[in-house]
């Protein structure tokens, strides 16, 4: 269970929420714009693209959906692919549960609606560093990032016809740069660095070996398993009670 004693005292809830959201919004707006352009070019109506940003709020899931839609895939295969890509949220929810268990079901549900890779990273890092649990801070961060994502998608969907190709703008690298910026603060020990390097290398190797959308999910599960095994081996055993 996480420690109950906080070692840090943040400022107002709204200020801390905006502080956590700022680096995420800087990545969400350009990546959302890229999705909006891609969606329209693949035959998705602009209004539907924005609705996906509001209701789905999953960058990887939306990009997969747009690609399969444009490729003429069926409804069942598209839904299955999006579901598989989003399975990682189960792991994130499990990781946050020791801290959020003190909140009501309604609050946990509302926080779950704003769960993304990036919001998970900033929230779990703050909690592990000893910041007190503040649902308002998390709501403000999640809502701000969601709004920036929707705004980026809307701009791309309705103004994307002005851009022929987003790759020269470097927007396709924005999400990668954002993930790297969120990963570095979490590598606080040799074990974290080892797991991060192992998972990244394994994901690239699986992709190079021909695996498609499964490479990230498989590498994440195996990397997390490695980290768990090594952390358990590092824990000192409790002394035996002499008989």
pLDDT tens-digit series, residues 74-110: 788 788 878 877 887 888 888 888 899 889 999 999 9
The residues, any chain, with a CB within 8 Å of residue 22's CB and separated by 6 or more, are none
Quote the tokens at residue 112: 């779950």
Distance CA 133, CA 206 (A): 37
Rg (CA), the chain: 20
8 — pLDDT class (breaks 50, 70, 90):
low
- The overall pTM is greater than 0.85: no
CA distance to 171, 182, 194, per residue, from 188 (Å): 29, 12, 11
Confidence of residue 168 (pLDDT cuts 50, 70, 90): low
Choose the weakest-confidence range: 20-24, 137-141, 219-223: 219-223
CA–CA dist 231, 225 (Å, integer): 10
Does position 222 have pLDDT exceeding 60, yes or no? yes
């Amino acid at each position: 269970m996480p420690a109950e004693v906080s070692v840090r005292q943040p400022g107002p809830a709204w200020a801390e929420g905006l502080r956590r959201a700022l680096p995420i919004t800087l990545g969400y707006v350009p990546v959302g714009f890229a999705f909006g352009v891609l969606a329209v070019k693949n035959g998705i109506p602009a209004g539907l693209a924005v609705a996906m940003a509001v209701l789905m709020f999953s960058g990887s899931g939306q990009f997969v959906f747009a690609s399969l839609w444009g490729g003429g895939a069926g409804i069942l295969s598209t839904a299955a692919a999006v579901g598989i890509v989003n399975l990682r949220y189960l792991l994130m929810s499990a990781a946050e549960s020791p801290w959020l268990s003190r909140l009501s079901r309604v609050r946990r549900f509302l926080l779950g609606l704003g769960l993304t890779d990036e919001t998970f990273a900033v929230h779990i890092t703050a909690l592990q560093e000893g910041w007190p649990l503040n649902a308002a801070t998390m709501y403000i961060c999640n809502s701000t990032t969601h709004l920036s994502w929707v705004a980026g998608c809307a701009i791309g969907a309705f103004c994307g016809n002005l851009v022929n190709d987003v790759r020269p703008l470097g927007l396709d690298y924005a999400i990668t740069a954002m993930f790297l910026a969120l990963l570095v603060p979490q590598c606080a020990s040799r074990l974290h660095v080892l797991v991060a390097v192992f998972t990244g290398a394994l994901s690239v190797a699986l992709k190079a070996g021909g695996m498609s959308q499964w490479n990230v999910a498989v590498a994440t599960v195996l990397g997390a398993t490695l980290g768990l095994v090594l952390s358990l081996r590092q824990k000192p055993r409790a002394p035996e009670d002499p008989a």
